[in-house]
A and B are shown apart, each in its own frame.
Chain A
Amino acid sequence: MATPEAPAARAPADRNHGLWIFLIWLPLAVVADLLIWFVWKPHLPPGTMSSSAEHQQFDIAVMAVVAAPVLLFVWVYAGYALVNWRHRAGDDGDGPPIHGNTKIQATWIAATAVIVLGLFVFGTVELIVPAGAGAGEGPAPIWQPNTSHRLEVQVIGQQWAFTYRWPQFGGMETSELVLPNNTTVEFHVTSLDVIHSFWAYQLGVKADANPGVDNVAYTTTKEPGTFTVRCNELCGLWHGAMFNYGHVVSAAAFQSWATHWEAVQRSKGLLGMLPPYRLTYDPTVIPQLGASIVKIDGITGGAGYYYPPQDPVTP
């Protein structure tokens, strides 16, 4: 048994702990916010390839600027408390019986409410002004870009690939996504089987692909470059391998790419073979054949694998 030691010297009773905590916190918070805004923000994802990506980057930076002082306040306070108000050997008494403090509790509630409501107003403005900020807005979006000059692209998800249809180019279908720079793009995202999600990462666009639903998302391209398209909703066996790359190119290069492929597909008769362009498709019906190709009771019911049940071999 160790002999009880004398209580170590405590901080002077008259020390203004609240002021000390504030004085430690304030410079840390200011430095953290300056670092976030001026050093980190230009590198934050998803980058500046499109208007929606810029808005998302801006939002993430603003949230970080708000979050950092909150995190630092709790950490500084808790660190100060754990150092100064820890149990000292030999002192087995209890702490002061403080049951609460109405002023502090009211201040805390008011402060958190102000932060939260401020973030709500900010987030709503940032959702409406950039026309949905690149998120899927359903079949009838009410927040639209203020230009009627839009490139329409249909994104069709199916297990386990994305294909793109271009209604303004004769309804041609490509497996590659090429977009012109400085253009407002209207994505129509749909699926043929299960739920997928179209995530053009650097482009700042994310919209779920639901079967039978036309999910619209907008963005305006700002910089040429390459972006990644990934499926963002678990869609079965090869979900992890469901990705491809897209490109933002100059308007002239896009025009020649698109007209070239439209001509090729027209000359080979591919355009006539595709089902007519629609906002949604029912994969069990092929109009050219005039009838439903899948028996109704094959859609639901006992474990209907649409694909052979054997495992594909590990690549």
Chain B
Amino acid sequence: MAIEIQPGAGRMQPVAGGPESSRPWWMRPAIHTGLIGAVIGYFLGHWLGNALSYDYAQNALSDTNDVPIILGYVLGTIGWLAGLGVFNDLGRLMLGKPLRDVQHEPAGGLAKYFRYTLDHKVVGIQYLFGMITYFLTGGLFAMAIRSELLSPSYHLLSSSAYLMVVGEHGTMMMMMMSSVVLGPFGQYFAPLMIGSKRMAFPRIEAIGFWLTPAAYIILLSGVLLGGFPTGWTGYAPLSTQAGPGMDTYAVAFGLMGISMILAGFNIIVTYINYRAPGMRWSRLPMFVWSMFTVSFLQVLAVPVLVAGMYMMITDRTFQTAFFANQLGGSSYLYQNVFWFFGHPEVYILALPGFGVVSEIIPVMCRKPLFGYRTAAAGMIGVALLSFFVWQHHLFDSGINPDMRPLFMLTTELISIPTGFIYLVALGTFWKAKIRFTVPMLFCLAMYFNFLIGGVSGVFLSDVPADTTEHGSFFVMAHFHYTIMGGLIFAFMAGIYYWLPKMMGIKLNERLGKIHFWTMFIFFNSTFLPLFALGMLGMPRRVFEYAQNLQGLNVWVSISAFCLGGSLLIFLFNFVMSTLVWREKEVGNPWQSRGLEWQVSSPPPPENFEHIPVILSGPYEYGDPNAPPVADLNPPVGVVSAAYASSGAGLEA
């Protein structure tokens, strides 16, 4: 197996940072050239769309034509990527010119964070800042929703503005947050945790990130086009009759889908092919297992979403009729396609959380992970089963009603592998020496929240009980407990745990504890009453509700504002700690055995000076006979001997 890609014969030597690196800064591809490319592409696409469809796609009722809008967004995105220099190497390859070196980025300077940079550590930091921005934007929409729901009948927002805000919040959170852990930590630590110097496909990795700002801006631009009335699910035929804001949903979700597919492929190939000698499957850190299973979900499930978005776009522009009942299509088709993606999607959101907490608890408990294989089996089991449960979203829809017992069974079965994650946690706590650091607090809160989310999910899997709860605030409380209570708490744990590694800077611990306790208390105070609201008959996505539910809704809204305040504490801590206070943390503050902690913080540009040889698993705490996790400076010949059987070894 090759651990290094040999430059092709006859190709010239690659250049660090790309051949443009000798130009003055304003001539080098970066965000500013990307923006220029996006604007040119948008107007080109808009003009092209009008030229192609001026006579047939104009709609008399709304006086809009969606072809130029869609083409504007698509060509704008291509222009954005071209302006960033994504396609430069393709051109150089065709012209036989020297390519950009994927492994040696010129060190130093902040400018590399604003460019199409191929170093996975730079991409990880870019993702981190991007994801925090997207998350806080989605959170602002949530604040608007809760403001509107302060009163059952007095409206701060018009009904269309309310639906716009609901749709933007839901879509922003569900599509952008699918990369909230896989982006920052997955990309940053994928090679570091397996002893590799690089990702398999650095260009694809960087494209994956640079598609996210495009998707974010396109989705937000829906506000200027009146928003979309469908929520994050985009059900046809409502999406077919909606205004041009719907196009932003379809294009943005499709772009984010492409980003997820690319990231998934890259991580799968990296984990299979770039593990250091001795990094057996039985020694992979749990975080790596979670990224591995999530990547399979992304590669297998997300193409279905992209296809669904494509069909929606063609329905709205070229007048195909995939989802139009009167013309031979079916609105059921969209529901099936969407949820065939949509249910794996919620595990794309849950599994990274499992990975982060399973990675952190052995460190903070000072004990080996209890039942390593059980934990890995749990993640694989969740990932496999997630493809067989999607129709529980359609229990009341009349699709395939006789199959409901089967989908009830598969849905309930998924609680067995999820239970493994809890077994592993509880076993690890047994006779441990639990250190209540900020990341550990977030991990414990994640287990607490996800338990409530998971158990409420069992209520929803039971068809008769679900008949009361389906589509109500009960469902909303359920998935906020699993996604915000699970994934976002795990994301916070990851930030507090890994930021010293990523930036060499630690976040203020006192503010971290204040942030944790306020976030934990107000999270539960916000979402626990929503179970009751759903049970009392409040459907989702309504802006008018029964008078007797006002008390609970006001309580929830005030808690939600406090939850927003708690995130401002986090933002303050993050900005001040990384920009102003800059308290250095260069060593191994958690005394972790993880391979990523064995190198300096932040890691050197090459990750490892030599390819390390892995000697034991990452969780051998308390075992005096356990060898160190890796030999970072293996004797000459060991690595090439390890790869000798595959005949393509190369000592780096």
* Chain A contacts to B: CB under 8 angstroms: 17, 44-46, 52, 55-56, 59-60, 63-64, 67, 70-71, 74, 77-78, 81-82, 85-88, 91, 93-101, 104-105, 108-109, 112-113, 116, 119-120, 122-124, 126-128, 130, 132-139, 141-142, 193-195, 197, 199, 201-202, 204-208, 210-213, 215-216, 228, 230-241, 282, 284, 296-306, 309, 311-315
Contact = CB atoms under 8 A, between A and B. Distances in A.
A259 B398 CA distance: 32
A127 B64 contact: no
Interface in B386-437: 394-402, 404-405, 408-409, 412-413, 415-416, 419-420, 422-423, 426-427, 429-436
13 contacts: A63-B462, A82-B434, A88-B433, A95-B367, A109-B416, A120-B408, A124-B405, A133-B463, A141-B401, A215-B398, A241-B544, A304-B59, A309-B61
A98 B158 contact: no
A135 B465 CA distance: 10
Given A45-B536, A208-B398, A94 B366 contact: yes
Interface string B538-564: 011111111000000000000000000
A238 B159 contact: yes
A85 B159 contact: no
B190 interface: no
A232 B465 contact: no
Contacts of A100: 370-374, 427
Contacts of B401: 132, 135-138, 141-142
Contacts of A301: 57, 59, 315-317, 319
A282 B326 contact: yes
Interface string B50-71: 0000000111111011110000
B409 A120 contact: yes
Contacts of A113: 416
Most buried by B among A139, A208, A212: A208
B429 A85 contact: yes
Contacts of A74: 422, 426, 447, 451
B622 A97 contact: yes
Nearest to A237: B159
A94 B242 CA distance: 60
Interface string B433-459: 111100000001001100110010011
Interface in B36-95: 57-62, 64-67
Contacts of A67: 455, 458-459
Most buried by A among B61, B401, B543, B545: B401
B397 A63 contact: no
Contacts of A109: 416, 419-420, 423
Given A60-B459, A67-B455, A197-B471, A303 B537 contact: no
A82 B238 CA distance: 50
Nearest to B327: A299
Contact of A136 (B160, B226, B398, B545): B398
B227 to A, nearest CB: 11
Given A109-B423, A135-B467, 12 more contacts: A56-B465, A85-B430, A99-B372, A100-B373, A124-B408, A126-B463, A127-B464, A138-B398, A202-B537, A206-B471, A228-B546, A302-B66
A212 B325 contact: yes
Given A195-B331, A234-B230, A314-B158, A135 B464 contact: yes
B163 A95 contact: no
* A-B pairs, 3 with minimum CB distance: A94-B622, A240-B542, A133-B464
A97 B241 contact: no
Contacts of B159: 237-238, 240-241, 311-312, 314
B538 to A, nearest CB: 8
B320 interface: yes
Nearest to A215: B398
B472 to A, nearest CB: 7
B327 A210 contact: no
B230 A300 contact: no
A56 B325 contact: no
A92 to B, nearest CB: 8
Contacts of B219: none
B320 A309 contact: no
B390 to A, nearest CB: 15
B322 to A, nearest CB: 9
Contacts of B455: 67, 70-71
Contacts of A236: 163, 229, 238, 241-242
B433 A85 contact: yes
A127 B368 contact: no
A95 B539 contact: no
B431 A46 contact: no
Interface residues of B, number: 120
B400 to A, nearest CB: 7
B570 interface: no
Contacts of B468: 45-46, 56, 60, 201, 204, 206
Given A136-B397, A210-B331, A101 B427 contact: yes
Contacts of A93: 366, 433, 622
B621 interface: yes
B224 to A, nearest CB: 15
Contacts of A237: 159-160, 163, 229
B622 A297 contact: no
Contacts of B603: none
B484 interface: no
A211 B431 contact: no
B535 A45 contact: yes
A94 B159 CA distance: 58
B395 A135 contact: yes
A123 B367 CA distance: 40
A104 B429 CA distance: 14
A98 B368 contact: yes
Contact of B426 (A77, A139, A212): A77
B246 A303 contact: yes
A187 to B, nearest CB: 12
B231 A234 contact: yes
Nearest to A312: B159
Contact of A302 (B65, B419, B433): B65
Contacts of B427: 98, 100-101, 104-105
B243 interface: yes
Contacts of A141: 401
Interface in B609-646: 620-623, 626
Contacts of B64: 302-303
B590 interface: no
Contacts of B546: 228
Contacts of A56: 464-465, 467-468
B214 interface: no
Contacts of B423: 104-105, 108-109
A116 B412 contact: yes
Contacts of B135: none
Contacts of A142: 401-402
A240 B149 CA distance: 11
B367 A94 contact: yes
A17 B430 CA distance: 9
A231 B432 contact: no
B238 A303 contact: no
